[in-house]
Amino acid sequence: MPGIEKRLARYPQLYSRVGFVHHYKPLSVDEQAFVLARHWPHLRLGATDDFVTTEAIAAITRATNGNFRLTTRLVDQIERVLEINQMTTVTKEIVEAARENLVIGIM
C-alpha cells in the first residue's frame, strides 16, 4: 500500500514490529502462464489452444495485473464459484464473478 510506511511511523509500537518492506515486481506473461498451468488440473481448464480457455486466462491476467498473491486468491475463488454453481468449465464470466466476489478493484 502506498504511504503505509509513513502511517505506521506514527505508531511506534506497531512500527517497531514491522521488519522490512519489500516491493515485488508483477509477474511476467510467462510467469503468469506458469502459475496458471500449475492450477489447470484444479480449475479443469482445457487445452491452451481452446478459445474458452484462452479467454479465461486472459481475463485472469487482466484482473490480477501480474500480482502473484492476487492470482492465487482469484484462482481459489474461481474454484469456489465452480463448486457452488456445480460447473466444470472456467469461462470469462466465471472469472469475472470470482473477481467481483474478491472486491479487488475495477477491471
Domain assignment present for residue 85? The answer is: yes
Amino acid (1-letter code) at residue 32: Q
Q: Rounded to whole angstroms, how far apart are CA atoms 66 and 47?
A: 21
Question: Which residues, 6 or more positions from 105, have their beta carbon under 8 angstroms from its beta carbon?
Answer: none
Which residue range forms the structural domain that includes residue 80? 25-102
**100 DSSP 8-state letter:** H
pLDDT at 90: 85
pTM of whole model > 0.75?
A: no
pLDDT at 48: 61
Domain assignment present for residue 50? The answer is: yes
The per-residue pLDDT for range 27-86, each reduced to its tens digit, is 888 888 888 888 777 776 656 667 877 888 889 888 888 888 898 899 889 989 989 999
Domain assignment present for residue 30? The answer is: yes
pLDDT-derived band of residue 96, with 50, 70 and 90 as boundaries? very high
Residue environment code for 79-95, b if the CB has 16+ CB neighbours within 10 A, otherwise e? bebbeeeeeeebebebb
pLDDT at 1: 66
How many domains does the chain divide into?
A: 1
| CATH at residue 73 | 1.10.8
